[in-house]
Structure 1
Amino acid sequence: MKILAVDTATEACSAALLVGDKQYARWEEAPRDHTRKILPMVQAVLDEAGLSLDQLDAIAFGRGPGSFTGVRIGISVAQGLAFGAGVPLIGISTLAAMAQGVHRQEGATRVLSAIDARMNEVYFGRYELQGDCMALVGEEVVSDPALLASEFGADAVLPGNWSAVGTGFETYGEVLGTMAETLVPSQQVRFPAALDMLPLARSAWLAGEAVAVEQASPVYLRDKVTWKKLPGRE
C-alpha cells in the first residue's frame, strides 16, 4: 500500500508517505508559507522512497477544520496531485490527526482535541483508541468554549485520565479544563502532522472510503466560511 498525505490546515505544513510498513515524513511550523513549502515536501518524501506519483494508491489530505485559507490550499494541492496521478482522495480530520499524534508520541488512548477557531470559538472533537487508530466519539463541533464546557457539568464530567491537545486548550484552557476528571496537556503535539494521517488514511482506504477527485470536500464546521478576517489572522 502506497499512500501520500498532505496537510496545510493549521500553522503547520507537512507531507508524509506510507509504503508498506515504511513511513517518510516532512513537517514544519510555517504560518502563511504553505503554498511555497508543501510541494517541495511532497517531492522530498517521494524521492526518499524512490516513488513517483503514478505509483501511489491514494492521496490523503487534511480536510479541516482549521484555517479557511489553509484548508483550501491543502485540498487544492491534493486534488491537483491526485488528478495528475489518477488516484483517489481520502479526507482526514485535522482534529483526529492531532489525537493520533498524541497516541503515537505519548501513548494516549483518550484525547480531547481543540483548535482555536478565532471569533471566541473552538473546533472540538473527542477521541478514543480503537485498534491502532483514534476514533471520534460523537461529533466534531465548533462552539463557544464556555458553552462546550457546560455540556460536561458536574454530572457529565468525563471520568479518568484524558489528554488535551491543540491551540484551543492553549487559549481557553482554564474553561475547557473542567471537561474531564483529569486532563493532561500534550507535551509534544500542538498541530496536526501528515505522518499521523497515514494510519487513519490506511484504515479509511481498507474500509473503501476513498473518493474520486471531484467528490473530495473540505470540512469547515462553520456554516459561514467567508467571515471578516481580523488583522493578521485567517
Structure 2
Amino acid sequence: MSHPVFLAVDTATEACSVAINGPAGLVEECQVLANAHSQILLPMITRVLQRAGLQLADVQAIACGVGPGGFTGVRIGVSTAQALAMARGLPVYPVSSLQALAAGIAQPRVLAALDARKGEVYAAEYVQDADGLPVLQGAERVCPPSAVSWPSDGFYWGVGTAWPLYHLCWQQENILGWTQDHFPRAAAVLRLASARQARGDTGCAAVQLEPHYIRPFLPEDQQK
C-alpha cells in the first residue's frame, strides 16, 4: 500500500520549514530567519509543491509541528495547517516539535531542549523504538535549566537551542555531547506523522488542531 502524500510544516523555532513526500521522494525547504515566518511560509509551500511536481490538490494529509516553541511561530504554523486542511477536508497530524527535534538526529537516546526564553527551557527525553523513531520518556516540561533532571542511566546526546546556553548546567558523565545548530524540521514532522498513519492513526479534523505551548499563553508573549 502506497503512503499518502503528506505536506508538513514546522515553524516553532527560528527555523521555518516545509516538506512533502512526492512521487520522486522527499522535498524539503528550510530557512532560519526569526520573525519572518508569516511572510515566508506560504511562498515556501508553493515552491516545495512545484519542486515535487505536485499541486495542493495532490496532498492527502497535513502534518504540523505544534510546539512547544515561540508562541507566534507556533500559531503561524498551526493556523496555516488548519486553513489548508479545512479548504480540502484533509486529516491533520499534530506532532510535537520536541519529538521532531529528536527525530532529526541519528542518536538512539536524545535529550531535546529548546530555549523557552524567560530563563526557562522546554525539555524532554526520547529513546528510539525498533523503527528508529523517538519515543517520549516521561513528559515534556518547561522549567528553569537548573531544575531539569536528566536521566542518569544510559548514554544520551543533547540537541536543541537550549544546549549552547545551558550545557554547563547539564554536565553528566552519561551525556556524550550535544549538537548546536539543530532545529525541528518539517521532514522529521512528516516522517513521524507518516509512521503514525502507517500504524493506523487516522489523524484529527482541522478544527481540533491546537498549539502545544506547555505553559500558559500570556499577553506579553504576543510578539514572541
The TM-score with structure 1 as length reference comes to: 0.87
Matching residue of 1:194: 186
Matching residue of 2:148: 148
Matching residue of 2:112: 113
User: Do the aligned partners of 1:145 and 1:175 also contact (CA within 8 Å) in 2?
Assistant: yes
Matches within 5 A, 1:20-59: 22-59=25-62
What is the CA-CA distance between 1:77 and the residue it aligns to?
0.6
Matching residue of 1:123: 122
What is the CA-CA distance between 1:21 and the residue it aligns to?
7.2
Percent identical pairs in the alignment equals: 37
Q: Quick one: structure 1 residues 170 and 111, their matched pair in 2 at CA, closer, same or farther if it must change by over 3 Å?
A: same
Matching residue of 2:175: 182
1:226 aligns with 2:218: yes
Paired with 1:48 and 1:214, the residues of 2 have a C-alpha distance of 29
RMSD over aligned CA atoms reads: 1.8
What is the CA-CA distance between 1:177 and the residue it aligns to?
2.9
Counterpart residue type for residue 61 of structure 1: C
User: Do the aligned partners of 2:91 and 2:202 also contact (CA within 8 Å) in 1?
Assistant: no
User: Do the aligned partners of 1:177 and 1:183 also contact (CA within 8 Å) in 2?
Assistant: no
Matching residue of 1:158: 153
Counterpart residue type for residue 57 of structure 1: Q
Paired with 1:87 and 1:229, the residues of 2 have a C-alpha distance of 31
**Superposed structure 1 runs of 4+ greater than 4 Å apart:** none
1:99-150 deviation line (CA, Å, top 9, x unaligned): 11112xxxx111110001111111011111111311111111111211113x
SS of aligned partner of 1:159: coil
Matching residue of 2:163: 169
Matching residue of 2:204: 211
Matching residue of 1:10: 13
User: Do the aligned partners of 2:24 and 2:52 also contact (CA within 8 Å) in 1?
Assistant: no
1:146-172 deviation line (CA, Å, top 9, x unaligned): 1113xx4xxx51333x11111111111
SS of aligned partner of 1:24: strand
User: Do the aligned partners of 1:54 and 1:86 also contact (CA within 8 Å) in 2?
Assistant: no
Paired with 2:221 and 2:92, the residues of 1 have a C-alpha distance of 30
Gaps spanning 5+ residues in structure 1: where? none
SS of aligned partner of 1:39: helix
Paired with 2:182 and 2:219, the residues of 1 have a C-alpha distance of 25
Number of matched residues?
A: 219
SS of aligned partner of 1:118: coil
Paired with 2:163 and 2:62, the residues of 1 have a C-alpha distance of 30
Paired with 2:195 and 2:27, the residues of 1 have a C-alpha distance of 18
Gaps spanning 5+ residues in structure 2: where? none
SS of aligned partner of 2:212: coil
Counterpart residue type for residue 170 of structure 1: P
